[in-house]
Homo-oligomer: A and B are copies of this chain.
Amino acid sequence: MGAKLEVTYRPSDKTAHVPAGTTLFNAANWAGLPIESTCGGRGTCGKCKVRILHGEAEPTPADHRKLDAGEIADAWRLSCQVEVHEDIECDVPRLMSMPKAATMGVNRFVLLEPNVAKVAVTLPEPSLEDHRSALTRLAAALDEEGYETNPCTRVLAELAMALREEDLDVTAVIVGDHLVAVEPGDTTDTMYGVAFDIGTTTVVGTLIDLRAGAPAAVASTINKQAPFGGDVIARMGHAMKGDEELEQLRLAAVATINEVLEELYSESGIPRQKVYELVIAGNATMLSLLLGVDPRSIALSPFTATFLEPLDLPAEDVGLNIHPDGRVQTFPSIGAYVGADIVADVVATGLVREDRTRLLVDVGTNGEIVCGSSERSAASSAPAGPAFEGGQILHGMRATDGAIEGVTLTNGTVELQVIGAENGAQPRGLCGSGLIDVVAQLRLTGLLQENGLYMNDEQAASHPLGANLRDHDGIRAFEIAPGVVLTQLDVRELQSAKGSIATGIEVVMGALGLQAEDLEEVMLAGSFGSYINPESARVVGLVPPVAVEKIIAAGNAASEGAKMALLSFREREIAFELPNVIEYIELSGAEDFNERFIRNLAFPSLEQVAAA
């Protein structure tokens, strides 16, 4: 990991702590200091110059191209060219002036600087004296605007076509350093991208107007891989059966995304030709399957992924229907089970960029955990099994019509929140949030003991809800609704699931030297996590004993993170650095994991809960 280096920016006196090798420009982004730039830190626009006050910074060829000899002698440098290899101090003369920005994610302020740029230029007319090619003339015009690009194959034909009518006004569409399109006339008013969160269950896409920074449409659908397995473990099992099955899953992922895209296009009226970039977050398995990458190395010990790095790929190669030369950008992952979705969560919550010490938990088949602050942070993943998704629970079910999603036990009555009740749905089973709720309520009413056993018949006899405790096929169970019970075995499953996540949290916090009282906020993320009752999460011991008001639902933070990276190249650069910044802790590597896990099977005492 290596020690972090300190960068100090004058005159604001802001500091950033970054790993060696980060550029002054990106380090400034970390510090929330937007140095002016149009090229996004590629050394081509020359706007991001800073003066080095303390520390080494040899001028590079880009410095020589964009700065004059006097400036170089006076220690002016392009901040995007200076890699930090020691503590460094510099003067920043030009911050972004009047930046366009939007509030996104969890109260994050995001500058509107998408990786997609549209540049309208009027090419100089060719003549017998100026026989430069149209491409050269276009490149020169773009260079003046601060862009250096490589043309995609089709761009050459487009350029010829755009110039055919002797109109020299064209718009270059640039994604990163790829010249992906040349459009006739000035088309700078239409520029779109889509942010995707590829969940194991649900795929959500948000079509964004990159100029306005506003969503134009949102669409979601069930992941078409679902028939091949309900969770990541089952999906991987299917993929490992053979190349045909792997291809089945790849095609299902591609079809799912394309269906969402079609829906976005039809809902918004935006044609696919105006959508130039996709940013995708998702767990490492989902990203692997999308690219047809055999996930067996993720499934089998020592659990390493084929790739964790962010990928910039042609959308056409991936099979996704945006502009034919559009690009796909995936988020990086931290580990095989701390995926790109979690990195997007971190971007959306700003977890490692703020001073506050926070904990983020994404609950699913795995519980992914990130904890820390701008000072130091660590992440891990704990296997939770399918309990939270309704698996292995006698009357467990997914969060669809008839699922009990909330339970209150008071004065001898059982109050239920049932999905679809307004349309007459009757309770049919328990979804994850309902499961946690009912267990928490059973604990609070005393029907369930600290060790996870139901109270015995003698004790139950005097309890207002004791009558609901009865035998169900030879196993002790609590009747929640007619035909819906929670058995002693179900409670054991939940204990195991929450025990694993709680242990993961404990190990991560331990590595950072943190206690529950150090936590200023606990964020529950993911489509399931957001529905958990914070109080219940605390009562069952899924999260550390903190005041209930410190526990918040972060919503679909992965989608928000993807949107932020789509809208801001600075946020993207930060996302790309996260795997170098957040320490990865392998739970299988924790020596006392099993002992801790067994200790965490028990529920917190009611005294502990009340004290927090």
Contacts of A584 in B (CB 8 A): 131
CA–CA, A24 and B312, complex, Å = 32
Q: List 28 A-B contacts (CB under 8 A).
A: A58-B59, A58-B63, A64-B85, A126-B297, A126-B304, A127-B302, A128-B301, A129-B586, A131-B304, A131-B335, A133-B309, A134-B297, A134-B307, A135-B309, A136-B307, A136-B309, A153-B291, A153-B317, A156-B288, A156-B307, A156-B311, A157-B291, A159-B293, A159-B306, A160-B295, A163-B297, A164-B296, A314-B314
Task: Give Cα A282 to B501, complex, Å.
Answer: 64
Given contacts A128-B302, A131-B303, A584-B131, contact A157 B294 (CB under 8 A): yes
Q: C-beta contact mask, A111-136 vs B, less than 8 Å → 1, else 0?
A: 00000000000000011111111111
Q: How far is the CB of A606 from chain B (nearest CB, A)?
A: 38
**Is the C-beta of A352 less than 8 angstroms from some C-beta in chain B?**
no
User: Which residue from B133, B305, B589 sits with its C-beta under 8 Å from A133?
Assistant: B305
Name A287's closest neighbour in chain B (CB-CB): B156
User: In the complex, are the beta carbons of A126 and B61 less than 8 A apart?
Assistant: no
Contacts of A130 in B (CB 8 A): 304
A133 touches B83 (CB 8 A): no
Query: Are A318 and B131 in contact, with the CB atoms below 8 A?
Result: no
A451 at the interface (CB under 8 A from B): no
**A612 at interface by CB-CB < 8 Å:** no
A247 to chain B, nearest CB (A): 10
Does A439 sit within 8 A of B, measured CB to CB? no
Interface flags for A54-87 (1: CB within 8 Å of B; 0: not) read 0000111101100000000000000001010100
Q: Which of A141-169 contact B (CB under 8 A)?
A: 150-154, 156-157, 159-161, 163-164
Shortest distance between the CB of A128 and any CB in chain B (Å): 5
Task: Report Cα–Cα, A301/B152, bound state, in Å.
Answer: 27
Q: Are A307 and B133 in contact (CB under 8 A)?
A: yes
CA distance A315 to B308 in the complex (A): 27
Tell me if A466 is interfacial: C-beta within 8 Å of chain B.
no
Counting from the closest, the 4 A-B pairs by CB-CB distance are: A153-B317, A126-B304, A160-B294, A135-B307
Nearest opposing residue in chain B for A284, CB measure: B133
- CB-CB nearest in chain B for A296: B164
A96 adjacent to chain B (CB < 8 Å) = no
Q: How far is the CA of A60 from the CA of B560 in the complex (A)?
A: 38
Q: Are B154 and A304 in contact (CB under 8 A)?
A: no
User: What separation, in Å, do the CA atoms of A584 and B133 have in the docked complex?
Assistant: 13
- Does any Cβ of B come within 8 Å of A588's Cβ? yes
A446 within 8 A of B: no
Q: How far is the CA of A361 from the CA of B512 in the complex (A)?
A: 75
Q: Given A60-B60, A131-B335, are A160 and B303 also a contact pair (CB < 8 Å)?
A: no
CA–CA, A198 and B307, complex, Å: 40
Residues of chain A in range 83-107 having any CB-CB distance to chain B below 8 Å: 83, 85
Q: Is the CB of A586 within 8 A of B134?
A: no
Residues 559-606 (chain A) with a chain B CB within 8 angstroms: 584, 586, 588-589
Which chain B residues lie closer than 8 Å to A5 at the CB level? Answer: none
Task: Indicate whether A306 sits within 8 Å of B127 (C-beta atoms), given known contacts A293-B157, A294-B160.
Answer: no
In this assembly, does A336 line the interface, its C-beta being within 8 Å of a C-beta of chain B? yes
Residues of B within 8 A of A58 (CB): 58-60, 63-64
CA distance A442 to B132 in the complex (A): 44
Chain B nearest CB, measured from A172 CB (Å) = 14
